[in-house]
Amino acid sequence: MKKILSFILVVVLCACTFQTKHRGYVFPENLESKLANIHTTAQLQEEIGDPQTRTIYGDEVWVYYSADENMHGPFPITYDNKMVLLAWVKGGKILKTKVLHDEDLKDVKIADGETEIPAAIDLNALEELFNNIGRFSPAGLGQ
């Protein structure tokens, strides 16, 4: 009986552990002062690295993101210490930079469920099975 209780206690305690993982870039403590001395994209890439993403439309903006991912056992994952660096770029020169912190970023709630696709066909498992007959070649024929 003691072994079972101790096993259950160990399982419960393991499920309640706290773990933090850093996601994204690790920005230096004095980021704003370093950005004041950076004037070209080459300098920015040397100091911080390549951006995680670049805008496709409109002004070219390089985006760097950083956050701490907190896991609390069976509870949902939370994020804090979020930081975003935006750098407006034109022809290898940096026009403007902006650093956003937790308080500057809005919390976005992801909607539950799925987005419906217009004109989508819903098939049950049996219909899916028969719908795929003849679509695939047998293994080993090299087609």
pLDDT of residue 16: 66
Q: Is the pLDDT of residue 143 over 80?
A: no
Amino acid at 91: G
Please tell me the predicted confidence (pLDDT) of residue 48.
Answer: 86
Residue 127: pLDDT band (50, 70, 90) is confident
Q: What is the pLDDT of residue 140?
A: 59
Helix (H) or strand (E) holding 128: helix 125-131
Is residue 114 classed as helix, strand or coil in its secondary structure? coil
pLDDT for res 15: 62
Residue-level pLDDT at 64 = 92
Sign of dihedral through CA atoms 32, 33, 36, 37?
Answer: negative
Query: pLDDT at position 61, please?
Result: 92
- 114 pLDDT tier (thresholds 50, 70, 90): confident
92 is written with which tokens? 């290898």
Q: What is the mean pLDDT of residues 115-123?
A: 80
pLDDT at 78: 81
Q: Which helix (H) or strand (E) holds 77?
A: none
Helix H or strand E encompassing 81: strand 78-90
Residue 142 has pLDDT above 60, yes or no: no
Q: By C-alpha distance, which of 95, 64, 92, 69 is closest to 80?
A: 69
Do 97 and 86 touch, CB atoms closer than 8 A? Answer: yes
Structure tokens at 56: 């496709």
CA–CA separation, 12 vs 41, rounded Å? 50
